[in-house]
Structure 1
Amino acid sequence: MTSPVLDAILAVTSHLDIREALRELVRTSIALTGADYAAIAIREPSGAVETFVDSEDNIEPVDLTGNEPRLDVPVRGHDVTYGTLTLVGGSTPLSAEGVDQLHLLAGAAATAAANSRLYDAARTRERWLAVGQEITTMLLAGTDVEESLALIASRMRQVAGADTAVIVLPGVGEDWVIEFADGDPVGDLIGIVMPPEGRAMRVLADGHGIIVESFARARPLRVPEFGRYGPSLYAPLVAGERRLGVFILLRNKQAPEFTENELTIAESIARQAALALTLAESRQAADLASLLAERGRIARDLHDLAIQQLFATGLQLRAAAQTSSDRQTQEAFESALTGVDEAVAQIRSIVRTLRSDAQDAPLLERLRREESLARIGLGFAPTLSIEGPLADDGALAERLGEDLADDVVAVVREGFANAARHAGATAVHARVHLGTRQLTVQVTDDGTGVDPRRTRRSGLANLAARAQAHGGTCELVAGEVGSVLTWTARRW
């Protein structure tokens, strides 16, 4: 082995930058062979050029058609072909020893390519794992689940070098819907229902991720909006037997494909995120259980203490009234007794509301329940007013019907949830007006607006569909400060 060849091979080990290593090998191959031109092209497993270096400092591969004489030496090592070393021109035929030396140089290029890929894979894994740790820490620290999902989409897109990231979550009924999207533009992606036979549903069922080489060539293409993208990666959000959703990374058409290494890491981080989401949901369930337990305690105290005390007071007033002979004094006692009876009736109604948890509970009680439960997501207590000529109708549920009553509860719940996504909201009010010919639900807040990437359009579309079923309308108006959700129903 000549010294220049040995020097070039040794130089490969001193470069972490593959381009510098390949330039050294190109210079040595020309010096060794007397060729007019030399180039090394390292290709991805798909065949696309990953790294190209030549003796003329070209950035893109050069068309060498018709250039003779030409010699192509495979860049191969450990049974893996990484690319080709190409030499063109030169007046001196190569000896057998010269050919062997070229193969040694090509082998060194293979080593450089392998080392570069290992280094890139290690750095990629390090970046992904850092993001995974950030996501897990954020979820376990008690960050709002929806805020966490929006951040997951953003951070995963950035670390993967993707142009768009979306998260598919359960929608209405058995639908699975794109609820979160990050990138630009993504407005038309939010709210898309995933086709039952599509890739996302297959990934969800199998519990394993997949790589799509390019949506530009993918057939069938069941989500037309994905046609503007190229490579994609699907990773399921699974925690044990629970299927929480699917995470999808999308790159533009000319971008490099996702690697198996990226898929493996993405699946691992998606599992971590799914587990953290499950724990966050459990924490919210515990908060809800604590709230319900507190409601139960208040109900018991009202029933066992307040009502009994009022009963005792009423008995004392009645006894005092019977001993008095003055008519005005007796009327005052009777008025006080009437007030005590009304207070007892009101407390009993409150106790029933606090204790009730059945789906068939009276509508007004169910609305009060939503008002209480919304405290968890909002961080403060919203307010609820029920007004109109039918507000005190004892047969209200029968007049509305089960479907409309369920829809009213769903609108109030979604209105509170929408307000929870607004930055800086400190007050939320739900107003339910029960008119004789129209029912109106209006939810207002004083927040500073909502990030469109966090707006669950499927939820608003669901409310619009419910309104149309009752001959009504649904509209969300967002201003610089606050928003107003108005929902109406006209069919009784």
Structure 2
Amino acid sequence: MSRNEEIGILKEIAELLNEGTDSKTVLAGVLRKLLSLTGLQTGWIFLIDEKGEHQLAAKVSLPEVLAVNEYKRMCQGDCWCVGRYNSGKLNKAVNIIECQRIENVILEKAGDTGGLTHHATVPLRAGNERFGLLNVGSPNKTHFERDELALLEAVAFQIGTALKRIKLTQREQETALISERNRLARDLHDSVNQLLFSLSLTARAGREMTENEEVKQTFSYIQDLAQDALGEMRALIWQLKPQGLENGIVSALSSYAEMLGLTIEAKLTGISSFPEKVEEALWRIGQEALGNCKKHSQTTHVSLFLNRSSDSVTMKIQDQGCGFYYDESFELASFGLKNMKARTEGLKGTFHINSEPGKGTEIQIQIPI
């Protein structure tokens, strides 16, 4: 491959990477482009987190035997390239690593690998920050030339730089979202909240000034509506801007329960600090669960249990109210429950509900840290 051809490949890939804002979409597109431009046939990208756990973020033309059962062989277990990456021994493009996952297929006689036996592997990095591995190969190809490895290394650096840019962009967007929530909470508090409070006072004054019983009842009804709306508005402001979260999630949820008129018994065991994303999820899930208790449980007593271990956090919210019939084999009927489940699973956690009519409801989530 000539120098001009290499520059052309790097240019096309750079243009593709600069357009992307979603890491998985970017990785899938750049992998297809790389294989197309180099004439290689197969590739896959592992993203590897701080704990050394990998996920299959992109793949192109993997042998069918590696694709069965939703790529189970690729997603589970360790291999030589991931092991060397995690041990710090894989710092540049390597020529060539015999693929342990493919070798296991051959040893087990599990299926046809289509002639694919080896692959080159390249770490994805930007400066000192590492993101995972780029693996490429072709049927019956057992050797990569030095210039091929140099090109793969340059592409891997481009990918690592793009992943870092996307990560920083997402962080900026999260910061901007928090700022916008705070601004909206202030606006609601300073305008709508005050208007509802004034309406409540005006209705009360009108009720006391009139002697007509029907008019009194009308003013009382208006005052009740204003008070209900005021309660809903305060709950909305809490959801937008969690006052008290700076004192910890238990304090914040306890204050939120009190604001809803619930009596809460809270217990925290283990470490009291949480990663920011986990604490945000706990807060939102806890709000939804406490709101459901207020609306549906027909009781004002709630228990909150929070345990933080070295590798996970478990939260239980339980009431002894009316409960409901729940079967895990059916789809969740409530949008609020679906939302709680989605937030939990978005952080690779597990979500469970236990409820029976007359026996209360327990919501339990566990999120890895």
Unaligned runs of 5+ in 1: 1-119, 371-383, 407-433, 444-458, 472-488
Displacement of 1:392 after TM fit?
3.3
Shift of 1:263: 1.2
In 1: Cα distance, 2:216 partner to 2:94 partner: 84
Judged with a 3 Å threshold, the aligned counterparts in structure 2 of structure 1 residues 183 and 212 are, in CA distance, closer, same or farther, namely same
Instruction: Tell me the distance in 2 between the aligned counterparts of 1:247 and 1:199.
Output: 10
| Preserved contact between residue 27 and residue 57 of structure 2 (Cα < 8 Å) | no
| Structure 2 residue matching 1:187: 3-state secondary structure | helix
2:133 is paired with a residue whose SS is strand
Counterpart CA distance in 1 for 2:307 and 2:327 is 14
How large is the Cα RMSD of the aligned pairs?
4.3
Structure 1 residue aligned with 2:201:
315
Q: 1:226-305 to 2 correspondence within 5 Å?
A: 228=113, 229-252=116-139, 254-255=140-141, 257-305=143-191
Query: Distance in 1 between the 2:236 and 2:98 partners?
Result: 60
* Shift in CA distance, 385/294, structure 1 to aligned 2, threshold 3 Å: same
Distance 1:226 1:128 in 2: 34
Q: In structure 2, give the amino acid aligned to 1:134.
A: E
Number of the residue aligned with 2:93: 209
Q: Report what 1:137 is aligned to.
A: 18
SS at match of 1:207: coil
| Separation (CA, whole Å) in 2 of partners of 1:293 and 1:389 | 29
Q: What is residue 59 of structure 2 aligned with on the other side? A: 181
**Matching of residues 26-425 of structure 1 within 5 Å:** 120-122=1-3, 124-139=5-20, 142=21, 144-170=22-48, 174-184=52-62, 185=64, 187-188=67-68, 190-191=71-72, 192-193=74-75, 195=77, 198-203=80-85, 205=88, 206-212=90-96, 214-215=98-99, 224-225=104-105, 228=113, 229-252=116-139, 254-255=140-141, 257-356=143-242, 366=281, 392-393=296-297, 398=304
Render the CA deviation track for 1:160-186: whole Å, top value 9, x for unaligned: 322211110136964112232111545
Displacement, 1:317? 1.8
1:167–1:179 contact (8 Å) kept in structure 2: yes
**CA offsets 1:429-448 (integer angstroms, 9 cap, x no match):** xxxxx8444466659xxxxx
* Cα distance in 2, alignment partners of residues 354 and 270 from structure 1: 40
Deviations 1:324-361 (A, max 9, x none): 11122112111111111111111111111111367656
Cα distance in 2, alignment partners of residues 223 and 298 from structure 1:
57
Cα deviation, 1:414-443, whole Å, max 9, x if unaligned, reads xxxxxxxxxxxxxxxxxxxx8444466659
Aligned to 1:104: none
Contact 2:102 2:117 in 1 (8 A): no
Where structure 2 has 5 or more consecutive residues not aligned to the other structure, the ranges are: 108-112, 258-279, 317-322, 334-344, 355-362
SS in 1 for 2:92: coil
CA distance in 2 between partners of 1:134 and 1:303 (Å): 46
Render the CA deviation track for 1:53-85: whole Å, top value 9, x for unaligned.
Answer: xxxxxxxxxxxxxxxxxxxxxxxxxxxxxxxxx
CA contact (8 A) 1:145 1:277 kept: yes
Shift of 1:301: 1.3
Structure 2 vs 1, CA of residues 280 and 437 (structure 1 numbering), >3 Å: closer, same or farther? same
Q: Determine what percentage of the aligned residue pairs are the same residue.
A: 17
Match in the other structure for 1:414: none
- Residue 241 of structure 1 deviates from its aligned partner by 2.2
**Cα offset, 1:281, TM superposition:** 2.0
Distance 1:341 1:312, change over 3 A: same
**Do the aligned partners of 1:232 and 1:250 also contact (CA within 8 Å) in 2?**
yes
The C-alpha deviation readout for 1:183-217, integer Å capped at 9, x for no partner, is 154524835246556223423634322111654xx
CA distance in structure 1 between the aligned counterparts of 2:353 and 2:213, rounded to whole angstroms: 57
Secondary structure of residue in 2 paired with 1:342: helix
Over alpha carbons, which structure has the higher Rg?
1
Q: Is the 8 A contact 1:135 1:273 kept in 2?
A: no
3-state SS of 2:184 partner:
helix
The within-5 A match list for 1:401-480 is 435-438=324-327, 442=332, 466=350
Are 1:194 and 1:200, in contact at CA under 8 Å, matched by a contact in 2?
Answer: no
Q: Deviations over 1:439-479 (max 9, x none)?
A: 66659xxxxxxxxxxxxxxx89x67xx47x889xxxxxxxx
Contact 2:17 / 2:159 at 8 angstroms: preserved in 1? yes
Label 1:279 to 1:296 Cα distance change in 2 as closer, same or farther (>3 A). Answer: same
Structure 1 residue aligned with 2:261: none
Deviation of residue 250 (structure 1)? Answer: 2.0
Please give the TM-score of this superposition, normalised by the length of structure 2.
0.64
- 1:363-410: per-residue Cα shift (whole Å, max 9, x none)? 99959959xxxxxxxxxxxxx99999996346667499997769xxxx
Moved over 3 A (4+): 170-174, 188-191, 193-197, 220-223, 225-228, 357-370, 384-406, 434-443
